[in-house]
């Protein structure tokens, strides 16, 4: 059943207030809900309360048993005559049996909730849509020993022990009120044996906020980083967006079983524990950065998502795109902006570009869906963030801030649309974004060609754009593309003009540069100002030149990547590689003492197998792997002395989490990888030494990865030692599974099949499932093993996972859906597995949508 954006209709009934009373028990939790409902306008439609696997035990209207209520499938339908009523329902649910991890569920002994997008209807009957905003009162009663801590949204109001008699059974209760009207997807409660790392934050207007990061007692020492990140985020949103926190408490709870990263429930964020827990021994620098980014993201949702929410789920990018843009800017401000931008663009190219060019391509504001959970995608989040970034580029910082002020001010306390946001940009920015709106409606990654030609002192830049057809959108209109560009003198390396912002609006446009004193080299899409694919007529020499001279760090990185990519694609097609230009460019960057270490580490990394594949008509995984390994080997050998010097120079003292120390660690592991690629006799020794001596997980995992990709006897020893050391730490054990699933060895497919039968493997925990199945299916060569065993294995796992947890299973379908990009033999095998999935009896609608659309 397809839900369409054009079918949106305002709700028939509002629910200004709701009181919830939970009698908590893992096997049978009783939920009593009291709703104040008000008819919206003149109509005679009944009240429809959504449910999902709920049975009403009692339905009262204004205190008396309701007459004539019915079930319409999962939903409760109550005919009502007056304008406003009080509705009371009772249901009983079993959190312990909830393997979908949506609604109220059990995780490691605690009870917690996840309601976005449509999980609240698994807890109680309610109009479960984001444009119904209510004030919540929540009462929870439960066993005091089992659930000493009872948390919900808003502020704590009262708590106590249950009265004596036979109720003197060790039970207690707590009440929480949230004064801010919110949609049901922001509801949360947590009950468990938890302790908090507590802190305080005083807001700019002087409000004192109590902060708490709630975890199991044993994890308490791993929560300082998250708490610190929270305080930084609160201060950042005040200084950059003028947004202040609005309740007396802000709590975060870490849970082990979680379908995605985290959730912004009002005043009570619930997190996947991997985005909270960190100490040097167990978390990598990447983990530390991700924790800060996700803490910031969820905190920022308090304004971009909670105070202003979405009218319907088609508007999801209104809160997600904007909030990703905000968290990216925050992270950029904590360290190197340039490196953060490089990481974000790498992520966009790895996840969003393939989505945009595949069978599941959809616009930033989709027109239809079967299951909304499938639309929490890189397009909604990351392309959505790029769309906001482009508007901020077009408006400039002052006007952009005025526009966000207007937006928050105008829509505070309401459920808004993407259109509302764009109109604020237009009004405060004094710009016309009519054509720009196509970024919300047209799917597909635009392609830009930029050809620079010179005639004497004059240069002509020919720009052209096109947007490829995507499912349901065969014909596209030109987009507005903000392209930052600049020219550099090909001899002196000096800038020949200031950076210009060109708004490419037509299919083609020409720009003429006059009075040039030397041959110009084009630097374009600087800072990745538009999320597009740019093709230029720049030579290998131009790219090498820019990789050394461009004054925009992103463009410098990009020139190097393009040079590497051109080299690799040529090698894949011709079977032989000319590596000299890349080697010289890498040498140049590696030995440039003026550059930041983290930047160097990014710049000298070769494009991934899959990104190389994305450039080709038909992906040949084995040829790509061979070409990339050959280039890695040559780089390792030719620059042996430089890698050794970089490696030795990056030996840090004691662990420290600072941009400089992170950069040094990154260079160290990248250098180690090249030393190993060179085939040096001492490489395994070196890696094993780093593995054993490491005082932090970044160095240890970096060394492990190098060993796991190789054939030395140290490989088994390191894997075994890692396993023994971290056996009881399930987050680190995920890394053990993941590193093996990402291995570049020939036997990875077999190894992964064996790991699926390891005693520590389980599909019931989403992190563990993703660590093995998710990682394996993005390991291009291993997954696409010509025998098809990788496809069969993944399909088997997904069918099994779907029975437990459809949301997490469906997220893992896209790699199988990329069959069109492969040779006929592989494509047929991939399709056969998708067909097998679609034909599985009892398949969820999540899986059905992903797998059946992938076959089209």
154: closest CA among 193, 182, 124?
182
Binding mask 688-717 for Zn ion (x = CB under 5 A): ------------------------------
Rounded least distance, CB 114 to ligand ARG, Å: 7
Nearer of residues 93 and 263 to ligand ARG, judged by Cβ: 263
Rounded least distance, CB 385 to ligand ARG, Å: 12
Burial of 517: CB neighbours in 10 Å, binned 0-12, 13-18, 19+: exposed
Residue 285 binds to ligand ARG (criterion: CB under 6 A): no
Answer left, alpha or beta for residue 785, where phi above 0 means left and psi between -120 and 50 means alpha.
Answer: beta
373 binds, among ligand ARG, Zn ion, none (CB under 5 to 8 A by kind): ligand ARG
Binding mask 802-831 for ligand ARG (x = CB under 6 A): ------------------------------
Assigned token pair, 18: 């709701």
Q: CA-CA distance, 755 to 823, in Å (whole number)?
A: 29
Nearer of residues 184 and 779 to Zn ion, judged by Cβ: 184
Residue 230 binds to ligand ARG (criterion: CB under 6 A): no
| β-bridge pairing 249-255 and 268-272 | parallel
Stretch that binds ligand ARG, among 141-149, 258-266, 468-476, 680-688 (CB under 6 A): 258-266
When binding is defined by CB under 6 A, the residue of 24, 31, 78, 117 that contacts ligand ARG is: 117
CB 389 within 8 A of CB 498: no
Residue 52 binds to ligand ARG (criterion: CB under 6 A): no
Stretch that binds ligand ARG, among 257-265, 422-430, 451-459, 665-673 (CB under 6 A): 257-265
Which single residue is written with the structure tokens 């468990």? 192
Residue 738 binds to ligand ARG (criterion: CB under 6 A): no
Q: For residue 729, give Cα distances in angstroms to 294, 725, 739, 760.
A: 21, 9, 16, 11
Phi, psi of 423 (to 5 degrees): -65, -35
777 binds, among Zn ion, ligand ARG, none (CB under 5 to 8 A by kind): none
Rounded least distance, CB 153 to ligand ARG, Å: 15
When binding is defined by CB under 6 A, the residue of 264, 289, 614, 833 that contacts ligand ARG is: 264
Residue 327 binds to ligand ARG (criterion: CB under 6 A): no
Rounded least distance, CB 364 to ligand ARG, Å: 15
Total number of residues that touch ligand ARG (CB under 6 A): 11
Active site residue 298: yes
Nearer of residues 18 and 117 to ligand ARG, judged by Cβ: 117
Find the length of the chain.
Answer: 856
Taking CB atoms, the residue at the shortest distance from ligand ARG is: 376
Rounded least distance, CB 274 to Zn ion, Å: 16
HSE (CB half, 13 Å, CA atoms) of 549?
A: 21
CB 167 within 8 A of CB 211: no
Rounded least distance, CB 317 to Zn ion, Å: 10
Phi, psi of 679 (to 5 degrees): 85, 15
Nearer of residues 245 and 625 to Zn ion, judged by Cβ: 245
Identify each DSSP E strand in 404-530 by its residue range. Answer: 414-416, 447-455, 458-466, 481-489, 500-504, 508-513, 520-524
Contacts for 253 with CB less than 8 Å, ≥ 6 apart? 112, 151, 190, 192, 194, 214, 215, 268, 269, 270, 271
Q: CA-CA distance, 187 to 124, in Å (whole number)?
A: 11
When binding is defined by CB under 6 A, the residue of 76, 152, 263, 521 that contacts ligand ARG is: 263
Rounded least distance, CB 300 to Zn ion, Å: 8
C-alpha torsion sign, points 770, 773, 774, 775: positive
| β-bridge pairing 447-455 and 533-536 | parallel
Q: CA-CA distance, 755 to 759, in Å (whole number)?
A: 9
Rounded least distance, CB 553 to ligand ARG, Å: 29
Residue 100 binds to ligand ARG (criterion: CB under 6 A): no
386 binds, among Zn ion, ligand ARG, none (CB under 5 to 8 A by kind): none
Q: For residue 481, give Cα distances in angstroms to 23, 328, 340, 532, 575.
A: 55, 21, 22, 8, 36
Q: What's CA 687's distance to the chain center, in Å?
A: 31
Phi, psi of 205 (to 5 degrees): -95, 5
Rounded least distance, CB 316 to Zn ion, Å: 9
Query: Pick the catalytic residue: 88, 116, 264, 298?
Result: 298
Q: CA-CA distance, 752 to 761, in Å (whole number)?
A: 11
C-alpha torsion sign, points 581, 584, 590, 594: negative
559: closest CA among 541, 545, 547?
547
196: closest CA among 216, 178, 175, 182?
216
When binding is defined by CB under 6 A, the residue of 21, 52, 88, 116 that contacts ligand ARG is: 116
Residues 465-484 that bind ligand ARG (CB under 6 A): none
Residues 532-571 that bind ligand ARG (CB under 6 A): none
C-alpha torsion sign, points 473, 479, 484, 490: positive
Nearer of residues 102 and 739 to ligand ARG, judged by Cβ: 102
Assigned token pair, 689: 């030494």
Rounded least distance, CB 261 to ligand ARG, Å: 6
Total number of residues that touch Zn ion (CB under 5 A): 2
Q: CA-CA distance, 101 to 140, in Å (whole number)?
A: 20
Nearer of residues 315 and 669 to ligand ARG, judged by Cβ: 315
Q: CA-CA distance, 208 to 202, in Å (whole number)?
A: 4
Binding mask 369-398 for ligand ARG (x = CB under 6 A): ----x--x----------------------
112: closest CA among 75, 88, 142, 137?
142
Stretch that binds ligand ARG, among 68-76, 81-89, 256-264, 428-436 (CB under 6 A): 256-264
Q: Hey, is 127 helix, strand or coil?
A: coil
| β-bridge pairing 249-255 and 149-152 | unpaired
Kindly state the helix (H) or strand (E) to which residue 733 belongs, with its residue range.
helix 730-741
Binding mask 59-78 for Zn ion (x = CB under 5 A): --------------------
Nearer of residues 118 and 550 to ligand ARG, judged by Cβ: 118
260 binds, among Zn ion, ligand ARG, none (CB under 5 to 8 A by kind): ligand ARG
Residue 846 binds to ligand ARG (criterion: CB under 6 A): no
Nearer of residues 433 and 801 to ligand ARG, judged by Cβ: 801
669 binds, among ligand ARG, Zn ion, none (CB under 5 to 8 A by kind): none
Rounded least distance, CB 341 to ligand ARG, Å: 21
Q: CA-CA distance, 15 to 440, in Å (whole number)?
A: 31
Binding mask 314-333 for Zn ion (x = CB under 5 A): ------x--x----------
Residues 281-320 that bind Zn ion (CB under 5 A): 320
Nearer of residues 373 and 417 to ligand ARG, judged by Cβ: 373
Rounded least distance, CB 226 to ligand ARG, Å: 15
Residues 295-314 that bind ligand ARG (CB under 6 A): 297-298
Q: For residue 571, give Cα distances in angstroms to 542, 621, 628, 721, 780.
A: 20, 13, 9, 39, 18
Nearer of residues 294 and 496 to ligand ARG, judged by Cβ: 294
Assigned token pair, 2: 């397809």
Nearer of residues 318 and 463 to Zn ion, judged by Cβ: 318
Nearer of residues 264 and 785 to ligand ARG, judged by Cβ: 264
Residues of the shown chain interacting with ligand ARG in the complex, contacts defined by CB under 6 A:
116-117, 260, 262-264, 297-298, 320, 373, 376
Q: Which residues here bind Zn ion, judged by CB under 5 A?
A: 320, 323
Catalytic residues: 298
């Amino acid at each position: 059943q397809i839900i369409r954006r054009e079918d949106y209709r305002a709700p028939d009934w509002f629910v200004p207030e709701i009181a919830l009373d939970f009698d908590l028990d893992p096997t049978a939790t009783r939920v009593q809900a009291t709703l104040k409902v008000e008819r919206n306008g003149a109509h005679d439609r009944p009240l429809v309360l959504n449910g999902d696997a709920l049975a009403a035990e009692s339905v009262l209207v204004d205190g008396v048993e309701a007459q004539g209520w019915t079930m319409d499938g999962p939903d409760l339908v109550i005919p009502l005559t007056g304008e406003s009523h009080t509705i009371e329902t009772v249901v009983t649910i079993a959190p312990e049996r909830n393997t979908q991890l949506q609604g109220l569920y059990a995780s490691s002994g605690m009870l917690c909730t996840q309601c976005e997008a449509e999980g609240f209807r698994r807890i109680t009957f309610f109009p479960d849509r984001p444009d119904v905003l209510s004030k919540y009162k929540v009462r929870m009663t439960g066993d005091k020993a089992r659930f000493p801590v009872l948390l919900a949204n808003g502020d704590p109001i009262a708590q106590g022990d249950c009265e004596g008699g036979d109720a003197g059974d060790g039970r207690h209760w707590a009440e929480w009120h949230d004064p801010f009207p919110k949609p049901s997807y922001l509801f949360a409660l947590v009950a468990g044996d938890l302790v908090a790392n507590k802190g305080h934050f005083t807001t700019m207007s002087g409000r004192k906020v109590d902060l708490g990061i709630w975890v199991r007692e044993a994890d308490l020492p791993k929560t300082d980083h998250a708490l610190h990140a929270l305080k930084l985020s609160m201060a950042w949103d005040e200084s950059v967006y003028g947004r202040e926190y609005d309740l007396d408490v802000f709590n975060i709870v870490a849970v082990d079983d979680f379908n995605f990263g985290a959730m912004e429930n009002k005043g009570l964020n619930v997190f996947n524990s991997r985005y909270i827990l960190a100490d040097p021994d167990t978390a990598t620098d990447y983990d530390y950065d991700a924790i800060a980014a996700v803490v910031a993201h969820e905190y920022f949702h308090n304004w971009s998502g909670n105070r202003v929410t979405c009218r319907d789920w088609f508007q999801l990018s209104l809160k997600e795109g904007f909030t990703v843009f905000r968290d990216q800017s925050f992270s950029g401000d904590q360290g190197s902006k340039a490196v953060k931008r490089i990481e974000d663009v790498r992520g966009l190219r790895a996840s969003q570009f393939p989505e945009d060019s595949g069978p599941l391509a959809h616009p930033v504001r989709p027109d239809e869906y079967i299951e909304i959970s499938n639309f929490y995608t890189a397009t909604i989040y990351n392309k959505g963030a790029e769309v906001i970034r482009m508007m901020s580029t077009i408006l400039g910082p002052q006007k952009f801030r005025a526009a966000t002020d207007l937006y928050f001010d105008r829509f505070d306390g309401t459920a808004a649309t993407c259109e509302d946001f764009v109109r604020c940009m237009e009004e405060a920015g004094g710009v016309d974004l009519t054509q720009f709106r196509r970024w919300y409606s047209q799917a597909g990654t635009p392609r830009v060609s930029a050809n620079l030609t010179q005639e004497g002192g004059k240069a002509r830049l020919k720009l052209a754009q096109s947007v490829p057809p995507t499912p349901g959108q065969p014909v596209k209109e030109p987009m507005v593309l903000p392209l930052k560009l600049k020219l550099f003198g090909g001899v002196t390396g000096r800038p020949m003009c200031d950076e210009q912002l060109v708004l490419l609006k037509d299919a083609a446009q020409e720009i003429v540069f006059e009075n040039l004193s030397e041959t110009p080299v084009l630097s374009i899409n600087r800072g990745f100002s538009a999320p597009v694919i740019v093709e230029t007529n720049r030579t290998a020499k131009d790219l090498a030149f820019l990789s050394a001279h461009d004054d925009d760090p992103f463009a410098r990185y990009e020139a190097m990547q393009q040079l590497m990519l051109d080299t690799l694609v040529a090698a894949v097609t011709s079977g032989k590689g000319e590596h000299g230009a890349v080697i010289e460019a890498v040498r140049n960057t590696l030995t440039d003492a003026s550059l930041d270490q983290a930047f160097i580490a990014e710049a000298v990394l070769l494009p991934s197998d899959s990104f190389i594949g994305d450039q080709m008509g038909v992906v040949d995984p084995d040829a790509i792997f061979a070409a990339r390994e050959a280039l890695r080997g040559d780089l390792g050998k030719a620059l042996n002395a430089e890698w050794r010097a970089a490696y030795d120079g990056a030996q840090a003292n004691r662990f420290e989490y600072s941009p400089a120390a992170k950069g040094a660690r990154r260079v160290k592991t990248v250098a180690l990888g090249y030393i190993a690629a060179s085939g040096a006799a001492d490489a395994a020794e070196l890696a094993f030494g780093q593995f054993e001596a490491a005082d932090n997980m970044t160095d240890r995992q970096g060394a492990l990865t190098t060993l796991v990709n190789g054939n030395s006897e140290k490989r088994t020893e390191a894997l075994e030692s890692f396993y023994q050391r971290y056996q009881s730490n399930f987050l680190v054990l995920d890394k053990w599974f993941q590193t093996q699933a990402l291995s570049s060895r020939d036997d990875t497919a077999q190894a992964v099949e064996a790991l699926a039968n390891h005693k520590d493997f389980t599909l019931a925990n989403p992190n563990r499932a993703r660590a093995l199945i998710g990682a394996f299916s993005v390991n291009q060569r291993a997954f696409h093993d010509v025998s098809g065993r990788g496809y069969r294995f993944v399909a088997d796992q997904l069918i099994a996972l779907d029975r437990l947890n459809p949301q997490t299973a469906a997220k893992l379908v896209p790699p199988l859906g990329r069959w069109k990009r492969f040779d006929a033999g592989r494509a047929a095998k991939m399709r056969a597995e998708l067909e097998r999935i679609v034909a599985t009896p009892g398949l969820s609608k999540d899986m059905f949508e992903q797998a059946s659309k992938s076959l089209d």
